[in-house]
Amino acid sequence: MLAAIDRMAERGYKGVSTKEIAAAAGVSEMTLFRQFGSKMNLLEKAIERYHYAAEMTQVFEERLTWNLREDLLLIGRMYHETMDRNRKLFLIVLGDNELAGLREQAQKHPRKLLELLTGYFTEMRSRGKLIETDAEAQAIAFMWLHYGAFLSRLFAPSSITSLPFSEVMESSVELFARGLTP
């Protein structure tokens, strides 16, 4: 899978053949087809394997402290670590109009994060640690802020600001925590 991701990120989905992928992976093209069936199926399996839904679910189930500032910082860091690690997949999927169906399938991952964050904000509100607010609206605002930050750095480091990304992330978390804490 990693050989396919590397080749497709370099030359685009259409720019690489299954023969090239197989050679880069050190297997025969027949083995590649037996394992995945098609180049599209290989990419689908890669997205399933390397996207962030499972990792983020684990964070929400095992690592939350119920301290808004700490938790949002943890969630933001994990999100960016995972997204940065999988940046080649995003370059592939966002770079080819033929992959629109695959982009739709990949939406289940942000939907899962939205569900997790909404549940977290709802629980924080019930514990008296969050102001009365629309939990889903706050969750999507947090997600879009971080997705926008990821996209702005997808192709190259940001030339918009000289601030280190960690400082920007901490500042955004501080803003959310101050705005949502009773």
Q: DSSP assignment, residue 86?
A: T
Q: Which fold has domain 51-180?
A: Tetracycline Repressor; domain 2 (1.10.357)
Contact 138, 180 (CB under 8 A): yes
Q: Using an 8 Å Cβ cutoff, are 44 and 102 in contact? A: yes
pLDDT at 179 exceeding the cut of 80: yes
Q: Are 121 and 41 in contact (CB under 8 A)?
A: no
Question: In this predicted model, what pLDDT tens digit does every residue of 35-55 receive, in sequence order?
Answer: 888 888 888 888 777 777 788
How confident is the model over 139-149, as pLDDT tens digits? Answer: 999 999 999 88
From the candidate CATH numbers 3.40.1390.40, 1.10.357.10, 1.10.10.60, 3.40.50.620, the one assigned to the domain spanning 1-45: 1.10.10.60
In the chain, residues under CATH classification 1.10.10.60 are: 1-45
- Say whether 90 sits in a helix, a strand or coil: helix
Contact call for residues 66 and 124 (beta carbons, < 8 A): yes
Every domain of the chain with CATH number 1.10.357.10 lies at 51-180
Supply the mean pLDDT for the chain: 88
So what's the pLDDT on residue 43?
85
Q: Which residues contact 84 (CB under 8 A, 6 or more apart)?
A: 150
**Which residues are CB-neighbours of 29 under 8 A, at least 6 positions away?**
18, 19, 22
pLDDT in tens, 45-86: 887 777 777 888 999 999 999 999 999 999 999 999 988 888
